[in-house]
């Protein structure tokens, strides 16, 4: 359990084996609950997530020189 025992974290819920819905239910980040984040974390563990790899690949592309730029866009 987290240091603040009054509110478990998403990881606490996963560690405890709490039953979670199939999908998070928030419509804006301000509405997201601990349970929503637990769902997102669990889905990320069970499904290959390529977002990080794609982000890093796109950052690397910014290192290529572009006409008119005094420096590469990565810099």
Question: What pLDDT does residue 46 have?
Answer: 65
**Closest by alpha carbon to 34, among 56, 12, 4, 15?**
12
Q: Mean pLDDT, to the nearest integer, of 5-16?
A: 89
In Å, how far are 14, 16, 22, 72 from 57, measured between CA atoms? 31, 36, 30, 15
Task: Render pLDDT for 28-68 as a digit per residue (tens, 0 to 9).
Answer: 999 999 999 999 999 887 666 677 888 899 999 999 888 88
Tell me the pTM: 0.55
The more confident residue out of 36 and 2 is 36
Instruction: State the Cα–Cα distance between residues 72 and 62, nearest whole angstrom.
Output: 7
Question: What pLDDT does residue 54 have?
Answer: 87
pLDDT at 2 over 70: no
φ/ψ region of 18 (left if φ > 0, alpha if ψ in -120 to 50, else beta) reads beta
């Amino acid at each position: 359990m987290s240091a603040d025992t009054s509110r478990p974290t998403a990881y606490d819920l996963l560690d405890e084996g709490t039953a979670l819905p199939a999908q998070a239910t928030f419509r804006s980040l301000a509405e997201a609950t601990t349970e929503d984040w637990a769902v997102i974390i669990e889905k990320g563990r069970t499904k290959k997530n390529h977002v990080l790899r794609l982000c890093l690949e796109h950052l690397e592309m910014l290192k290529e020189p572009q006409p008119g730029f005094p420096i590469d866009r990565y810099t």
